[in-house]
Structure 1
Amino acid sequence: MNPIIPMEPISCEVIPQGDDWIAQVKWDGVRILTYFDGQRTHLYNRRINERTHQYPELADIQTYCKARSVILDGEVIALGADGKPSFHEVMRRDGIRRLEKVSQAQKAVPITYMIFDVLFTNNEWVIDLTLRERLNLLSEIIIPNDHVQLVEGHDDGNAMYEVIKQHGMEGIVMKNLNSKYVIGGKEKQWQKKKYYRDTIAVVGGVTLRDNVVNSLLLGLYDPQGRLFYIGHAGTGKLTRNDWVTLTEKIVPLIQNDRPFANTPARFKGAVWLRPSVTVKVQFAEWTEGYTLRQPSIQAVVDIPVDYCVLE
């Protein structure tokens, strides 16, 4: 089975209404598609990077799926200390590269696979079925357990969004029950409304305190490939060890030239970097000058810099 680029929702400000629309939680995790050809199971993220070894809890697919072969779509999440999905926590699992650390990480960071769609089952593509039909199929083939759950759909998107706001979660995804699954891009039959905003940004520079990175100068690329400075962040969910690890990572990236096309508002003492490191940033809003207000670093991520573009 060749991995595919999954269907994505478009952003919306007005929540779609009507009997044909359902609302689902937008989980703050890692998009993972599971492929089972009848013998072997493989996991891939939305960038088609394999993640089979990072999540061994999902390897024995026959413990939670009755299909003889299948492609499942969902989100792997991990809970933070507050009981809410935490992108920082799940990245502690997703970022593992040394396999000997996986067993220890399983105990430290339990994960749950939140399944919300099926593309292929019993040697047949089902992407031309309606979402309503695919959800019915999922309910027939998935056996929930401690690490696998089906994502519920709710009729009232506005009411669900209010609940999401009360709990400080990421947002909702509205889906048309008559929609087919469109491989490879964004589709208006799925629409997302976030409660808080986030982006994946490129680290173009850092500042240091006691020879350890303590803040990041962030950028996004424009359509012409120029890196534009969008803000400066030193707060968030990175631990002291995370900052030390990041300090080691940026050493071979140090350069003399500023990588940004525009001049950062704050760059005294900055160390410029070859754009290579990417981070997930949560923020309140865009300012008129197109910088981030109240940016907060959530995690260092394994996403190519060409993904980090100004929308």
Structure 2
Amino acid sequence: MEWQPIVPFEPIRTETAPSGDGWVGQIKWDGTRILTYASGGTVRLFNRKGHERTLQYPELLDLSSYCTAESVILDGEVIAIADGRPNFQEVMRRDSVRKAQHLALAQKQVPISYMIFDMPYLDGEWITDKPLRERQRLLQERVRGNATVQLVPSVAGMNDLFGVMKQHKMEGIVCKDLESKYLIGGKDKRWQKMKIYNDLVAVVGGVTHRAGQVNALMLGLYDAEGRLWYIGHAGTGRFTQQTWRELTEKVREMTLPERPFVNVPERSKDAVWIKPLLTVKVSYMEWTAGRTLRQPSIQALVGAQPADCTFGQLDG
């Protein structure tokens, strides 16, 4: 069978867990979405965007070692553990391998696990119209865990699960309606994600423009010696179009000829440097190995003193 990769079902964002007995919570793994397509002894792997990843994860190609189906599509997350919890940067080291001769070293340096949570196709039949509770039952029957592959457990206490994820600084949870069908290419409230973010107040040391309007902020924090370090850029969040327009006017009077950051930011080529006077509250997932913010999101302009925007915030 020649597979055409599907666009997997996606959850929407929520701040509170849904109520009712017909919901379960699952851990939201900080990894990369991988779907396994198996038929006639051939196994291929694709990510959520339909890009093939069969080369990158050979641990998953022996289907018979963890699944009894003749043909199947398994939906899950490939993760890599660092410091006791899933680490997105680590799994990206594996995901970025493009040559077979580099794979053995990558496997040794970054062992992975495959966390399976759904199965839209089984033994020649699309089972997307079956409710989640039935698909989970079939998963339990057909998939057995091994050293690399595990089934994602479902729990009824979603708020309790979210609390545990906060305690362990995990990514969050996904709440799922047990009656939900698997909607290929869909994204709706039958699956809802609750994500855990950190917050800090950062200095704006530069901006980028699109069509003459500021579209992203270049963020920084001061170290103990009073040096400003670039920590990432953010163009998403809660700013309205009016806020972006007002900001565009404001920074015109704040430009600098040289960057105010000690280190060289990404996107420096397109940056307009400004006096580090503006401060913003930013939420983010975590710090990367390169000391920049992962998934920063602008929450608001704030009136904090720039000198107070230090790495010391991270100790609280």
Aligned length: 247
Mapping of 1:1-311 within 5 angstroms? 1-80=3-82, 82-196=83-197, 228-232=215-219, 262=248, 267-268=259-260, 272=267, 292=282, 297-298=287-288
Unaligned 5+ segments in structure 2 are 200-204, 223-246, 271-277, 291-295, 299-316
Q: TM-score, normalised by structure 2?
A: 0.69
Opposite residue 217 of structure 2, the aligned amino acid is I
Alpha-carbon contact 2:7-2:50 (below 8 Å) kept:
yes
Aligned partner letter, 2:219? H
Distance in 2 separating the partners of 1:118 and 1:40 = 17
Deviation readout 1:17-40 (Å, 9 max, x if unpaired) = 211000000000000000012221
Asked whether the 8 Å contact 2:197–2:284 carries over to 1, the reply is no
* CA drift at 1:65: 0.8
The CA deviation at 1:98 is 2.1
Question: Structure 1: how far apart are the matches of 2:142 and 2:255?
Answer: 54
Contact kept? 1:87, 1:299, Cα under 8 Å: no
Aligned to 2:93, what secondary structure does the other structure show? helix
- For the structure 1 residues 226 and 116, does the alpha-carbon distance in structure 2 shift closer, same or farther, using more than 3 Å as the test? farther
Structure 1 residues 294, 43: CA separation in 2 closer, same or farther (over 3 Å shift)?
closer
* 1:5-25: CA deviation from partner (whole Å, max 9, x where unpaired): 111100001111211000000
Indicate the SS of the match to 2:97: coil
- Given residue 63 of structure 1, which amino acid in structure 2 is its aligned partner? S
* Structure label with greater radius of gyration: 2
8 Å CA contact retained: 2:11, 2:188: yes
| Structure-1-length-normalised TM-score | 0.70
Query: How far off its partner does 1:195 sit?
Result: 1.3
CA distance in 2, matches of 1:89, 1:218: 29
C-alpha contact (below 8 Å) 1:217/1:233 kept by paired residues: no
- Cα offset for 1:231? 3.5
Name the CA distance, whole Å, in 2 between partners of 1:66 and 1:90: 27
Give the AA of the match of 2:90: E
**Aligned equivalents of 1:94, 1:35: Cα separation in 2:** 18
Query: Which secondary structure state, in structure 2, belongs to the residue aligned with residue 120 of structure 1?
Result: strand
Question: Aligned letter for 2:67?
Answer: C
Which amino acid in 2 is paired with 1:34? T
